[in-house]
Amino acid sequence: MTSTESVAVPTAAIRPARVGREEAREDSARARLGRGLQHGGWFVAPFFVLFGLFVIVPVLRGLWLSFTDANISGVGAHFVGLDNYREALDDPLVWSSLGHSAYFTLLVVPCIVVLAFLLAMLAHHIERAKWLWRLCFFAPFLLPSAVVGNLWWWLFQPATGMVNHVLGLQTPWLTQKSTAMLAIVICTLWWTVGFSFLLYLAALQNIPQHLYEAAELDGANAWRRTLHITLPMLRNITGLIVVLQILASLQLFDQAVILYQFGPGPEESTRTFVQYTLEQGFTSYRVGYASAISFILFLIIAVIALGRMWLLRKREEGVR
């Protein structure tokens, strides 16, 4: 027997054994998955049923309507292909309302991020009555949008509102174009900053204390500790807050329509993308066209969310 033959025999014998072990592992994984579905599937089944019934089905129904000329009655709808999307891209009100939503987003997102961080730092380092400070900062977020909109409508009244009284002004916040969007931004900051504040506060509590102690021993002052420890450790949560606020701000509707009594604001300066969609669907009764507009916003939001996921994955790969 040659040396070549003596080596070939063990290799041929080992290969089937290795294949057998791999098949056994796959069968074991399938068995575990089957047992998991058998025992845990009943617990998640109600969620999937409700999710499909109230999310998937309406989304698919809306997608179909966007290719039709359906009215609000749902009778006599005809397939029109991409005509609704072509009309939306040529509609100047679509672009102006999208511009108003984007302008609001540019104003409110940086303010929320900075204000939420400062409030979280204050609540994290304060010694007395921590629960009271946290409650005060987070409580407005629990209020319904109707309450918040009507509350700030009274506060912005030029003659009797508290805003002008405190600032010593006579500014018609809700009736002039230059301050109309600013009023919505102020209302939104007061109402929604508590959510981002809570995320920052939880992230601050998870930063290891020994990092600050080591930096303090090295002579780093409070500003340097914040700049070189706190901010880098909050990078991921800051990215999450920015994305969440962008997605929420692009869907601005409640506080805007309540502040301006369901109107488009002075010189139509506060008509948002969602508001224009509802006007087309429930005022002009063009449900098919409104569905097409809503899916344009859906695509914009999806691109932003997927872009955030791609950047996060690239960052994780870079760290590895």
pLDDT confidence of residue 207: 92
Residue 72 located in a structural domain? no
pLDDT confidence of residue 27: 58
Mark whether 177 and 286 lie in a shared domain: yes
- CATH label of the domain that carries residue 217: 1.10.3720.10
Residue 254's alpha-carbon distances to 104, 146, 272, 281, in angstroms, are 13, 7, 10, 17
Mark whether 137 and 92 lie in a shared domain: yes
Mark whether 245 and 111 lie in a shared domain: yes
Mark whether 160 and 215 lie in a shared domain: yes
pLDDT confidence of residue 64: 94
Question: What's the CA dihedral at 249, 250, 256, 258 to 10 degrees?
Answer: -90
Residue 76 located in a structural domain? no
Q: Which residues of the chain have pLDDT under 70?
A: 1-40, 318-320
Mark whether 98 and 35 lie in a shared domain: no
Residue 81 located in a structural domain? no
Mark whether 137 and 45 lie in a shared domain: no
Mark whether 6 and 126 lie in a shared domain: no
- How many domains does the chain divide into? 2
Q: pTM of the full predicted structure? A: 0.82
Residue 70 located in a structural domain? no
102 touches 252 (CB < 8 A): no
- Other C-beta atoms lying within 10 Å of the C-beta of residue 226: 15
Q: What is the pLDDT of residues 13-66, one digit of tens each?
A: 445 555 455 555 655 666 665 665 566 677 788 888 999 999 999 999 999 999
Mark whether 36 and 172 lie in a shared domain: no
Q: How far is CA 164 from the centre of its chain?
A: 33
Question: What's the CA dihedral at 161, 165, 168, 173 to 10 degrees?
Answer: -10
Mark whether 239 and 295 lie in a shared domain: yes
Mark whether 289 and 236 lie in a shared domain: yes
Assign 3-class secondary structure to 233-261: HCHHHHHHHHHHHHHHHHCCCHHHHHHCC
Mark whether 129 and 261 lie in a shared domain: yes
Tokens matching residue 7: 């080596």
- Other C-beta atoms lying within 10 Å of the C-beta of residue 203: 21
Mark whether 43 and 112 lie in a shared domain: no
Domain boundary among 36, 65, 94: 65
Q: Which amino acid is at 86?
A: R
Tokens matching residue 126: 């304060």
Residue 71 located in a structural domain? no
pLDDT confidence of residue 218: 87
pLDDT confidence of residue 259: 93
Domain boundaries, position 257: 86-319
Beta bridge partners of 286: 71
- Other C-beta atoms lying within 10 Å of the C-beta of residue 286: 20
Q: What is the pLDDT of residues 118-154, one digit of tens each?
A: 999 999 988 888 889 899 999 999 999 999 999 999 9
